[in-house]
Amino acid sequence: MELHISLNGTRDLAKQITEQLRDAINQGTLTAGTRLPPTRLLAEQLGVSRKTVADAYSHLTYDNLLVGRVGAGTFVNRHVPHATQQIQADELAGAAVIEHWREATLPMHHPPHTLRYDYLGGATGKHQFPEEEWRRCVLFALRQGAQSRGLYSQPEGLPMLREAISRHIGFSRGVRCGSDDLLVTNGAQQALDLVARVLVEPGCTVAVEDPGYPPARLLFAAQGARVVGVPVDDQGLRVELIPDGTRLIYVTPAHQFPLGMPMSPARRLALLERARELGAIIIEDDYDCEFRYEGRPADCLQSLDHHGLVAYVGTFSKSLLPELRLGYLVAPPSLLKALICAKQLTDWHTATLTQWALAKFMLDGYLLKHIRRCHGAYASRRERLIERLDGDLAPWFERIHSNAGFHLAILAKGTLDVPRLIELAKQAEIGLYPLAPFYAAAAPRNGLLMGYGCIDSLDIQPSLDRLWALLQQLAPRD
């Protein structure tokens, strides 16, 4: 790579090179540790003698801005930026918009370093990921890429992957769709963003569950919507409280997030009827639909929709890995063309390498095998967790019944100081997370979200032993 230096005329060439390199170092263009080209190579690039470049390097080395390392080359030694006056955000014409984004919270961040015993919700253990099978599929993807023309791909996703996804969700969830009804997205979050882009405008009303998924609520608010939290009960979203004028309704009917109960069949039909009255689109976020442990499977909302009102959103972040950033959106016919346009304008298309790999992974049956293995592991962890919550931890907690996913919501009894418990648990290398941040307008309930996707089965008993000891210390029970 060429170093950007522009020479004017033929006089004082060494000085010109020296000053331009000095400015680049002081302004941070050349950062500490950057390796400069050898004098011979830079001289050839600039069309000057090697001695001219060597003189420039010598001046900067004398000033302690460059340092030579025997056998390695010449490197930037230190960075001393000029004290320039940077314009402040409040001086810009877009100051109000900038401040709006600066004040936004970013919930549900996964911590960079987890504790020894971590009950982090929405996370899976990487040790369960089928590395060998995925490696074979990535090699297949590389071969496909080598045969391509190297042009932009389709915004809606590769046909092979869309076909694989439509088969999978039709088989496992009863979703009624073909490959042409489906868009591949960068995780479920982009699917939500695309629907918001084509439906939401400043001042319009969007209804979300309360408690609910904070990133969805904040995303709609960022688009300028008036976001209304609708309370939930043991049957799911209270449909009668959805306000008139609502344009978009976001729900998690299979496994309400974060409380965990499924939406009842009667409530699902009522929701579809209310959406039809309003002319509203429903986003059905089926985020962890693959993992169900008891009872009969319930139909997804999209399969009950006969008017084209449900946008079905799914993700591979829960069944595979969040860092793959792969999700999908089954679009109602009325939105499909607009969503494809929005997808192309947003990022053109999802990376084709991971699309090819996932398509191969699914069509060769690896995904279903992986889900079965994970299901067994999660079922075992869930059983151990429930046994303790219903046993010696029952004096302090009451769990909300949930038959799917890989987290449980538990409510604190009495006046248990949950924030204090979380702090004490952290000192004991136990990661606990409160329910309160998932509430918006509704009064938050005192409790915890206990994820069991990334904690090892053998760690559950010792971690809960430590938790029991902390509870006895904080709020003794006879």
Closest listed residue to residue 251, CA positions, set 222, 275, 277, 279: 275
Q: With contact defined as beta carbons under 8 Å apart, do 410 and 400 qualify?
A: yes
Q: For the structural domain made of 132-364, what CATH number should be given?
A: 3.40.640.10
Q: With contact defined as beta carbons under 8 Å apart, do 234 and 261 qualify?
A: yes
In this prediction, residue 83 carries a pLDDT of 52
The C-alpha atoms of residue 332 and residue 176 are separated, in whole angstroms, by 11
Alpha helices in 314-417 (DSSP H): 336-347, 352-363, 366-389
Range list for CATH 3.90.1150.10 in the chain? 117-122+369-474
The string of DSSP codes covering 218-256 is: HHHHHTT-EEEEEEEETTEE-GGGSPTTEEEEEE--SS-
The string of DSSP codes covering 168-210 is: HHHHHH-----GGGEEEESHHHHHHHHHHHHH--TT-EEEEEE
Q: What is the pLDDT of residues 414-438, one digit of tens each?
A: 899 999 999 999 999 999 999 999 9
End-to-end CA distance of the chain: 72
Give the CA dihedral 61, 64, 70, 73, nearest 10 degrees.
-70
The C-alpha atoms of residue 55 and residue 454 are separated, in whole angstroms, by 58
In this prediction, residue 427 carries a pLDDT of 95
127: pLDDT confidence band, cut at 50, 70 and 90?
confident
Helix axes 418-427, 457-474, angle to 10 degrees: 120
Q: What is the pLDDT of residues 241-278, one digit of tens each?
A: 999 999 999 999 999 999 999 999 999 999 999 999 99
In this prediction, residue 232 carries a pLDDT of 97
Q: For the structural domain made of 117-122+369-474, what CATH number should be given?
A: 3.90.1150.10
Q: With contact defined as beta carbons under 8 Å apart, do 184 and 158 qualify?
A: yes
In this prediction, residue 478 carries a pLDDT of 62
Q: Is the pLDDT of residue 109 over 80?
A: no
Residue 91 neighbours by CB under 8 Å, 6+ apart: none
- Name the residue type at position 469: A
The C-alpha atoms of residue 206 and residue 189 are separated, in whole angstroms, by 16
- Rounded to 5 degrees, what are φ and ψ at 98? -60, -45
In this prediction, residue 248 carries a pLDDT of 98
In this prediction, residue 81 carries a pLDDT of 57
Q: What is the pLDDT of residues 456-470, one digit of tens each?
A: 999 999 999 999 999
Q: What is the pLDDT of residues 379-406, one digit of tens each?
A: 999 999 999 999 999 999 999 999 888 8
The C-alpha atoms of residue 266 and residue 272 are separated, in whole angstroms, by 10
Looking up tokens 């949930």 gives 402
The C-alpha atoms of residue 381 and residue 388 are separated, in whole angstroms, by 11
pTM greater than 0.85 (yes/no): yes
Q: Domain 13-76 - what CATH class?
A: mainly alpha
Range list for CATH 3.40.640.10 in the chain? 132-364
The C-alpha atoms of residue 178 and residue 311 are separated, in whole angstroms, by 14
1: pLDDT confidence band, cut at 50, 70 and 90?
low
Residue 135 neighbours by CB under 8 Å, 6+ apart: none
Containing H/E element for 458? helix 457-474
In this prediction, residue 80 carries a pLDDT of 57
Least confident of 68-77, 123-132, 139-148, 456-465: 123-132
Q: What's the DSSP call for residue 127?
A: G
Mean pLDDT of all residues in the chain?
92
41: pLDDT confidence band, cut at 50, 70 and 90?
very high
The Cα-based distances of 100 to 95, 124, 393 in angstroms read 9, 33, 43
Range list for CATH 1.10.10.10 in the chain? 13-76
